[in-house]
Protein backbone atom coordinates (compact mmCIF):
# COMPACT_ATOMS: atom_id res chain seq x y z
CA UNK A 1 0.00 0.00 0.00
CA UNK A 2 2.65 2.55 1.05
CA UNK A 3 5.03 1.85 -1.89
CA UNK A 4 2.11 2.51 -4.25
CA UNK A 5 1.30 5.74 -2.42
CA UNK A 6 4.85 7.04 -2.70
CA UNK A 7 5.02 6.04 -6.36
CA UNK A 8 2.00 8.30 -6.86
CA UNK A 9 3.74 11.09 -4.96
CA UNK A 10 6.67 10.88 -7.38
CA UNK A 11 4.31 11.90 -10.18
CA UNK A 12 3.40 15.28 -8.71
CA UNK A 13 5.53 18.39 -8.33
CA UNK A 14 8.08 18.84 -5.57
CA UNK A 15 6.20 21.41 -3.48
CA UNK A 16 3.01 19.38 -3.44
CA UNK A 17 5.00 16.24 -2.74
CA UNK A 18 6.62 17.79 0.33
CA UNK A 19 3.23 19.06 1.52
CA UNK A 20 1.59 15.64 1.23
CA UNK A 21 4.56 13.89 2.80
CA UNK A 22 4.38 16.32 5.72
CA UNK A 23 0.74 15.47 6.26
CA UNK A 24 1.40 11.73 6.16
CA UNK A 25 4.78 11.42 7.85
CA UNK A 26 4.20 12.23 11.53
CA UNK A 27 0.82 10.47 11.91
CA UNK A 28 2.05 7.27 10.30
CA UNK A 29 5.23 7.19 12.39
CA UNK A 30 3.13 7.74 15.53
CA UNK A 31 0.67 4.99 14.56
CA UNK A 32 3.38 2.43 13.83
CA UNK A 33 4.93 2.97 17.23
CA UNK A 34 1.95 1.04 18.59
CA UNK A 35 2.68 -2.67 18.74
CA UNK A 36 -0.55 -3.81 17.10
CA UNK A 37 -0.12 -1.34 14.23
CA UNK A 38 3.46 -2.47 13.72
CA UNK A 39 2.30 -6.08 13.40
CA UNK A 40 -0.35 -5.13 10.86
CA UNK A 41 2.18 -3.08 8.90
CA UNK A 42 4.68 -5.97 8.97
CA UNK A 43 2.01 -8.33 7.66
CA UNK A 44 1.16 -6.05 4.72
CA UNK A 45 4.87 -5.49 4.01
CA UNK A 46 5.37 -9.27 3.91
CA UNK A 47 2.40 -9.72 1.59
CA UNK A 48 3.76 -6.99 -0.66
CA UNK A 49 7.11 -8.81 -0.89
CA UNK A 50 5.29 -12.04 -1.79
CA UNK A 51 3.34 -10.31 -4.57
CA UNK A 52 6.52 -8.65 -5.86
CA UNK A 53 8.30 -12.02 -5.84
CA UNK A 54 5.56 -13.64 -7.92
CA UNK A 55 5.69 -10.84 -10.50
CA UNK A 56 9.48 -11.06 -10.70
CA UNK A 57 9.49 -14.84 -11.02
CA UNK A 58 6.95 -14.69 -13.83
CA UNK A 59 8.94 -11.98 -15.62
CA UNK A 60 12.24 -13.83 -15.28
CA UNK A 61 10.56 -17.02 -16.42
CA UNK A 62 9.28 -15.28 -19.56
CA UNK A 63 12.77 -13.90 -20.22
CA UNK A 64 14.32 -17.36 -19.93
CA UNK A 65 16.32 -16.30 -16.87
CA UNK A 66 14.61 -18.61 -14.36
CA UNK A 67 14.28 -22.29 -15.11
CA UNK A 68 13.72 -25.60 -13.33
CA UNK A 69 17.28 -26.80 -12.65
CA UNK A 70 19.69 -25.61 -9.96
CA UNK A 71 22.37 -23.56 -11.71
CA UNK A 72 24.94 -23.00 -8.95
CA UNK A 73 26.10 -24.55 -5.69
CA UNK A 74 26.68 -28.11 -4.44
CA UNK A 75 23.40 -29.41 -5.90
CA UNK A 76 23.90 -27.97 -9.36
CA UNK A 77 21.75 -29.80 -11.90
CA UNK A 78 19.05 -30.87 -9.43
CA UNK A 79 15.71 -30.62 -11.24
CA UNK A 80 12.55 -29.03 -9.84
CA UNK A 81 8.93 -29.35 -10.98
CA UNK A 82 7.48 -26.42 -12.96
CA UNK A 83 7.08 -23.04 -11.27
CA UNK A 84 3.35 -23.63 -10.77
CA UNK A 85 4.14 -26.24 -8.10
CA UNK A 86 5.03 -24.42 -4.86
CA UNK A 87 8.35 -25.07 -3.13
CA UNK A 88 9.83 -23.04 -0.31
CA UNK A 89 12.61 -20.64 -1.37
CA UNK A 90 12.42 -22.04 -4.89
CA UNK A 91 14.16 -19.07 -6.55
CA UNK A 92 17.00 -19.15 -4.02
CA UNK A 93 17.51 -22.88 -4.50
CA UNK A 94 17.43 -22.71 -8.30
CA UNK A 95 19.93 -19.84 -8.39
CA UNK A 96 22.23 -21.22 -5.70
CA UNK A 97 21.80 -18.51 -3.07
CA UNK A 98 19.88 -20.64 -0.55
CA UNK A 99 21.91 -21.16 2.64
CA UNK A 100 24.99 -20.20 0.66
CA UNK A 101 26.93 -20.07 3.94
CA UNK A 102 26.91 -23.90 3.92
CA UNK A 103 28.26 -24.35 0.39
CA UNK A 104 31.97 -24.49 1.40
CA UNK A 105 31.10 -27.13 4.02
CA UNK A 106 29.17 -29.22 1.49
CA UNK A 107 32.11 -29.02 -0.92
CA UNK A 108 34.33 -30.49 1.82
CA UNK A 109 31.83 -33.20 2.74
CA UNK A 110 31.39 -34.33 -0.88
CA UNK A 111 34.69 -36.22 -0.64
CA UNK A 112 33.64 -38.19 2.46
CA UNK A 113 32.65 -41.88 2.08
CA UNK A 114 29.32 -41.73 3.89
CA UNK A 115 27.28 -44.92 3.82
CA UNK A 116 24.25 -43.30 5.46
CA UNK A 117 22.96 -39.72 5.23
CA UNK A 118 20.03 -38.79 7.46
CA UNK A 119 18.06 -35.63 6.69
CA UNK A 120 15.89 -34.65 9.66
CA UNK A 121 13.38 -31.95 8.70
CA UNK A 122 13.50 -32.57 4.96
CA UNK A 123 10.72 -30.09 4.01
CA UNK A 124 10.05 -30.53 0.28
CA UNK A 125 13.30 -32.42 -0.28
CA UNK A 126 16.02 -30.03 -1.45
CA UNK A 127 18.66 -31.57 0.82
CA UNK A 128 17.28 -35.11 0.73
CA UNK A 129 17.40 -35.32 -3.06
CA UNK A 130 20.54 -33.20 -3.25
CA UNK A 131 22.33 -35.62 -0.93
CA UNK A 132 21.13 -38.60 -2.95
CA UNK A 133 22.86 -37.04 -5.99
CA UNK A 134 25.93 -35.85 -4.07
CA UNK A 135 26.53 -39.19 -2.31
CA UNK A 136 25.54 -41.90 -4.82
CA UNK A 137 27.07 -44.61 -2.62
CA UNK A 138 24.97 -43.72 0.45
CA UNK A 139 21.58 -44.75 1.75
CA UNK A 140 19.43 -41.66 2.36
CA UNK A 141 16.93 -41.56 5.23
CA UNK A 142 14.52 -38.62 5.02
CA UNK A 143 12.39 -37.49 7.97
CA UNK A 144 9.58 -34.95 7.48
CA UNK A 145 6.48 -34.51 9.65
CA UNK A 146 4.26 -32.77 7.06
CA UNK A 147 2.63 -35.31 4.67
CA UNK A 148 2.30 -32.80 1.82
CA UNK A 149 6.03 -32.11 2.01
CA UNK A 150 6.82 -35.83 1.99
CA UNK A 151 4.74 -36.20 -1.17
CA UNK A 152 6.59 -33.31 -2.84
CA UNK A 153 9.90 -34.88 -1.81
CA UNK A 154 8.87 -38.16 -3.43
CA UNK A 155 8.01 -36.37 -6.68
CA UNK A 156 11.32 -34.50 -6.55
CA UNK A 157 13.19 -37.78 -6.02
CA UNK A 158 11.41 -39.42 -8.96
CA UNK A 159 12.12 -36.41 -11.18
CA UNK A 160 15.84 -36.75 -10.36
CA UNK A 161 15.96 -40.55 -10.63
CA UNK A 162 16.97 -41.24 -7.01
CA UNK A 163 13.69 -42.38 -5.41
CA UNK A 164 14.90 -45.97 -5.10
CA UNK A 165 17.70 -44.94 -2.72
CA UNK A 166 15.64 -42.86 -0.30
CA UNK A 167 13.85 -44.18 2.78
CA UNK A 168 10.97 -41.71 3.35
CA UNK A 169 9.76 -41.44 6.94
CA UNK A 170 7.53 -39.15 9.00
CA UNK A 171 8.23 -37.34 12.26
CA UNK A 172 11.60 -38.05 13.86
CA UNK A 173 11.92 -38.75 17.59
CA UNK A 174 14.99 -39.60 19.61
CA UNK A 175 13.77 -43.19 19.90
CA UNK A 176 13.24 -43.41 16.13
CA UNK A 177 16.68 -41.96 15.43
CA UNK A 178 18.34 -44.35 17.92
CA UNK A 179 16.83 -47.32 16.11
CA UNK A 180 18.73 -46.58 12.87
CA UNK A 181 22.20 -47.61 14.12
CA UNK A 182 23.96 -46.90 10.80
CA UNK A 183 26.88 -49.04 9.67
CA UNK A 184 29.87 -47.05 8.52
CA UNK A 185 30.36 -43.28 8.26
CA UNK A 186 27.13 -41.32 8.77
CA UNK A 187 26.03 -37.73 8.26
CA UNK A 188 23.06 -36.22 10.11
CA UNK A 189 21.64 -33.02 8.57
CA UNK A 190 19.03 -31.49 10.89
CA UNK A 191 16.69 -28.49 10.71
CA UNK A 192 13.59 -28.97 12.86
CA UNK A 193 12.84 -25.57 14.44
CA UNK A 194 13.68 -26.27 18.13
CA UNK A 195 13.09 -30.03 17.76
CA UNK A 196 16.84 -30.42 18.18
CA UNK A 197 16.34 -30.20 21.97
CA UNK A 198 14.56 -33.57 22.38
CA UNK A 199 16.01 -35.33 19.32
CA UNK A 200 19.71 -34.43 19.07
CA UNK A 201 20.80 -36.06 22.31
CA UNK A 202 23.71 -38.54 22.45
CA UNK A 203 22.42 -39.85 25.77
CA UNK A 204 19.31 -41.07 23.93
CA UNK A 205 20.98 -41.74 20.56
CA UNK A 206 24.45 -43.18 21.39
CA UNK A 207 25.60 -43.63 17.77
CA UNK A 208 25.55 -39.82 17.33
CA UNK A 209 28.90 -39.76 19.14
CA UNK A 210 30.50 -41.21 15.99
CA UNK A 211 28.53 -39.28 13.35
CA UNK A 212 29.13 -36.03 11.50
CA UNK A 213 26.29 -33.64 12.35
CA UNK A 214 25.04 -30.39 10.85
CA UNK A 215 22.28 -28.78 12.90
CA UNK A 216 20.53 -25.48 12.32
CA UNK A 217 20.14 -23.77 15.69
CA UNK A 218 17.04 -21.88 16.71
CA UNK A 219 17.80 -19.59 19.64
CA UNK A 220 15.60 -17.07 17.81
CA UNK A 221 12.67 -19.35 18.68
CA UNK A 222 13.88 -20.81 21.98
CA UNK A 223 16.72 -19.19 23.93
CA UNK A 224 19.56 -21.39 25.12
CA UNK A 225 19.50 -24.07 22.42
CA UNK A 226 22.97 -23.24 21.12
CA UNK A 227 24.57 -23.64 24.54
CA UNK A 228 22.56 -26.81 25.18
CA UNK A 229 23.71 -28.53 21.98
CA UNK A 230 27.29 -27.35 22.46
CA UNK A 231 27.31 -28.83 25.95
CA UNK A 232 26.03 -32.18 24.73
CA UNK A 233 28.76 -32.62 22.11
CA UNK A 234 31.81 -30.71 23.39
CA UNK A 235 33.39 -33.88 24.79
CA UNK A 236 32.98 -35.96 21.62
CA UNK A 237 33.10 -33.55 18.65
CA UNK A 238 35.01 -30.67 17.13
CA UNK A 239 32.39 -27.95 16.76
CA UNK A 240 32.48 -25.42 13.93
CA UNK A 241 29.98 -22.56 14.21
CA UNK A 242 28.66 -21.05 10.97
CA UNK A 243 26.58 -17.86 11.00
CA UNK A 244 24.28 -16.66 8.23
CA UNK A 245 25.90 -13.82 6.30
CA UNK A 246 25.08 -11.27 3.64
CA UNK A 247 24.92 -12.41 0.03
CA UNK A 248 27.59 -11.39 -2.48
CA UNK A 249 25.10 -10.03 -5.00
CA UNK A 250 27.73 -9.57 -7.71
CA UNK A 251 28.09 -13.35 -8.02
CA UNK A 252 24.54 -13.65 -9.35
CA UNK A 253 24.04 -11.84 -12.68
CA UNK A 254 20.26 -12.29 -12.54
CA UNK A 255 20.17 -9.76 -9.66
CA UNK A 256 22.26 -7.12 -11.41
CA UNK A 257 19.47 -4.91 -12.81
CA UNK A 258 17.13 -5.22 -9.83
CA UNK A 259 16.37 -2.78 -7.03
CA UNK A 260 17.17 -3.77 -3.45
CA UNK A 261 13.47 -4.29 -2.60
CA UNK A 262 13.26 -6.69 -5.57
CA UNK A 263 16.44 -8.49 -4.51
CA UNK A 264 15.13 -8.82 -0.96
CA UNK A 265 11.84 -10.23 -2.26
CA UNK A 266 13.69 -12.90 -4.24
CA UNK A 267 16.59 -13.96 -2.01
CA UNK A 268 15.75 -12.65 1.48
CA UNK A 269 14.91 -16.10 2.98
CA UNK A 270 12.72 -14.34 5.62
CA UNK A 271 15.01 -15.11 8.55
CA UNK A 272 14.18 -13.38 11.83
CA UNK A 273 17.78 -12.36 12.52
CA UNK A 274 21.30 -13.75 12.79
CA UNK A 275 21.15 -17.53 12.91
CA UNK A 276 23.80 -20.20 13.44
CA UNK A 277 24.58 -23.74 12.42
CA UNK A 278 26.92 -26.19 14.14
CA UNK A 279 28.93 -28.63 12.09
CA UNK A 280 30.16 -31.26 14.53
CA UNK A 281 32.79 -33.82 13.59
CA UNK A 282 33.84 -36.65 15.96
CA UNK A 283 37.14 -36.08 17.72
CA UNK A 284 38.10 -39.68 16.99
CA UNK A 285 37.92 -39.17 13.21
| pLDDT tens-place string over residues 45-57 | 889 888 999 999 9
Q: Which of 27-41, 119-133, 209-223 has the highest mean pLDDT?
A: 119-133
Measured CA to CA, the distance from residue 216 to residue 218 in angstroms comes to 7
Domain boundaries, the chain: 2-62, 90-282
Question: Higher confidence at residue 242 or residue 27?
Answer: 242
CATH of domain 90-282: 3.40.50.150
- Per cent of the chain over pLDDT 70 is 92
Question: Higher confidence at residue 84 or residue 138?
Answer: 138
What integer is the mean pLDDT of 208-214? 97
At residue 183, does pLDDT exceed 70?
A: yes
At residue 3, does pLDDT exceed 70?
A: no
CB within 8 A of 161, min separation 6: which ones?
A: none
Q: pTM of the entire structure?
A: 0.85
pLDDT band at 84 (very low <50, low <70, confident <90, very high): low
- Per the CB < 8 A criterion, the answer to whether 187 and 118 are in contact is yes
Q: What is the DSSP string of the chain?
A: -HHHHHHHHTTS-HHHHHHHHHHHHHHHHHHTTSHHHHHHHHHHHHHHHHHHHHHHHHHHHHTT---SB--SSTTTT-B---TTS--TTHHHHHHT-TTGGGHHHHHHHTTS--SEEEEES-TTSHHHHHHHHH-TTSEEEEE-S-HHHHHHHHHHHHHTT-GGGEEEE----HHHHHTT--SS-EEEEE--TTTHHHHS-TTT-GGGGGSEEEEE--TTTSTTHHHHHHHHHTTTEEEEEEE-----GGG-GGGTTS-HHHHHHHH-TT--S--EEEEEEETT-
What integer is the mean pLDDT of 202-225? 93
Measured CA to CA, the distance from residue 171 to residue 205 in angstroms comes to 16
Q: What is the mean pLDDT of the chain?
A: 89
At residue 7, does pLDDT exceed 80?
A: no
At residue 6, does pLDDT exceed 80?
A: no
Amino acid sequence: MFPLLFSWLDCINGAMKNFVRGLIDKPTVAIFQWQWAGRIGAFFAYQHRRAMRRRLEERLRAEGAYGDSVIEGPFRGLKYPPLEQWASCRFEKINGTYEHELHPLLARLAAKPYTTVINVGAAEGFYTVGFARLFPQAKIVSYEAQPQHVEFCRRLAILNGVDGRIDFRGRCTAEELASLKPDGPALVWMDIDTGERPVLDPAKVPWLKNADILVELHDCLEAGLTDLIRGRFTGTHRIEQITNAGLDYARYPVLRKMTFPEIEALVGEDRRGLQDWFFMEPLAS
